[in-house]
């Protein structure tokens, strides 16, 4: 169950600011008399926050979308209500099967359940925003992301689907357009700010995973709003592409290769150990977890590096 987004609460508070207008739209959305909140509030926004809480608690099945549809009948010029009602009528779930077929596990894939588990713990549906996998080229970043794509617990967690955007260093509006299309909005994006608002309206209340593979510019990650239940899995060679406020920690080092990554032949002599197998893998924890960034991976990233 999901409540209203802040943008939707603002819109309902503006359009339905009087008690006489509120009851008909709530009843049309399926609220029973016993579920209707009282009007003992200082502002209309406070009332609609209470409505949002009741929707999140399951007062009305698919209540957010039914409420948007009822509101759209009264205010057909509202883009916010139209987005919510569109989700109600044709809610597109980006297919896990399609994504998995497009991005299969490597033939030489070696399972690393501890690594996947650590990142899985970060990709909670109660959180929002990005989790990063950072490392030099060939360190196995994309392979780890594929392992998570094929993880059934992750699939069951993000029931509204997944989309994978490869080589995500392209124009921000292009990335936004592709993600919007994956979830049913086929109109192109021309301005980044418009793309952010359309993503917010379309994805609010959903539980979905967006993989941005091989990001080189912070603007790409910044092009996505923070929405509870919508997570970004970002792979990059540069930790600066991620917001510094993302929770972080660092796990123990390992000399075994990352899942599916290339493990070169063992060398002997003075150059032994320089072949470059991946040896650092880390997960990120939230504030208050007591973890510190000890390896230079920065807040909000899972760090990968190679021996020298």
Question: 72, 89, 106: which is the final residue of a domain?
Answer: 89
Domain that residue 204 falls in = 96-306
Half-sphere exposure of 13 (CA within 13 A, CB side): 19
Question: 89, 115, 132: which is the final residue of a domain?
Answer: 89
Q: Is the pTM of this model over 0.75?
A: no
**Radius of gyration for the alpha carbons in the chain, expressed in angstroms and rounded:** 22
Q: What is the DSSP string of 14-52?
A: HHS-SHHHHHHHHHHTT--GGGPPPS-SSSHHHHHHHHH
Same domain, 132 and 46: no
Residue 1, domain member (yes or no): no
Same domain, 15 and 155: no
Going residue by residue through the chain (308 aa), what tens digit of pLDDT does each one get?
578 888 899 999 999 998 888 888 888 888 877 777 787 888 999 999 999 988 888 887 778 878 888 888 788 778 888 777 765 444 566 788 888 988 898 888 878 777 788 888 988 888 888 998 887 777 788 888 999 999 999 998 998 889 999 876 678 999 998 998 888 787 888 999 999 999 998 898 888 999 999 888 899 999 999 998 999 999 888 888 888 766 432 322 333 334 443 333 333 333 233 233 333 344 444 433 333 333 333 334 455 444 33
Residues in Cβ contact with 239 at an 8 Å cutoff, skipping those fewer than 6 apart: 132, 134, 296, 297, 298, 301, 303
Helix (H, G, I), strand (E, B) or coil at 308: coil
Same domain, 26 and 133: no
Same domain, 181 and 283: yes
Same domain, 79 and 168: no
Residue 227, domain member (yes or no): yes
Q: How many domains does the chain have?
A: 2
Residue 216, domain member (yes or no): yes
Residue 172, domain member (yes or no): yes
CATH number at residue 109: 3.40.50.300
């Amino acid at each position: 169950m999901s409540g209203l987004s802040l943008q939707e609460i603002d819109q309902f508070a503006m359009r339905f600011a009087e008690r006489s207008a509120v009851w008909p739209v709530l009843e049309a959305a399926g609220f029973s008399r016993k579920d209707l909140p009282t009007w003992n509030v200082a502002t209309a926004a406070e009332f609609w926050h209470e409505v949002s809480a009741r929707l999140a608690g399951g007062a009305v099945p698919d209540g957010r979308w039914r409420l948007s549809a009822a509101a759209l009948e009264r205010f057909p010029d509202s883009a916010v209500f139209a987005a919510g009602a569109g989700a109600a009528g044709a809610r597109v779930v980006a297919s896990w099967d399609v994504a998995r077929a497009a991005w299969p596990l490597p033939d030489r894939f070696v399972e690393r359940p501890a690594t996947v588990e650590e990142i899985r713990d970060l990709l909670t549906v109660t959180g929002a925003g990005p989790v990063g996998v950072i490392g030099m080229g060939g360190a196995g970043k994309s392979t780890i992301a594929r392992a998570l794509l094929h993880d059934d617990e992750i699939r069951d967690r993000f029931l509204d689907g997944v989309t994978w955007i490869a080589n995500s260093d392209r124009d921000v509006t292009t990335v936004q357009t592709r993600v919007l299309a994956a979830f049913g909005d086929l109109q192109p994006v021309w301005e980044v700010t418009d793309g952010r608002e359309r993503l917010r309206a379309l994805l609010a209340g959903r539980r979905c995973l967006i993989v941005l593979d091989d990001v080189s510019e912070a603007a790409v990650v910044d092009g996505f709003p923070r929405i509870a239940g919508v997570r970004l899995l970002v792979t990059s060679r540069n930790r600066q592409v991620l917001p510094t406020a993302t929770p972080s920690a660092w796990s123990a080092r390992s000399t075994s290769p990352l899942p599916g990554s290339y493990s070169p032949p063992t060398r002997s002599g003075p150059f032994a150990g320089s072949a470059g197998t991946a040896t650092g893998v880390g997960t990120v924890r939230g504030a208050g977890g007591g973890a510190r960034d000890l390896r230079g991976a920065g807040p909000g990233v899972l760090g990968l590096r190679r021996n020298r």
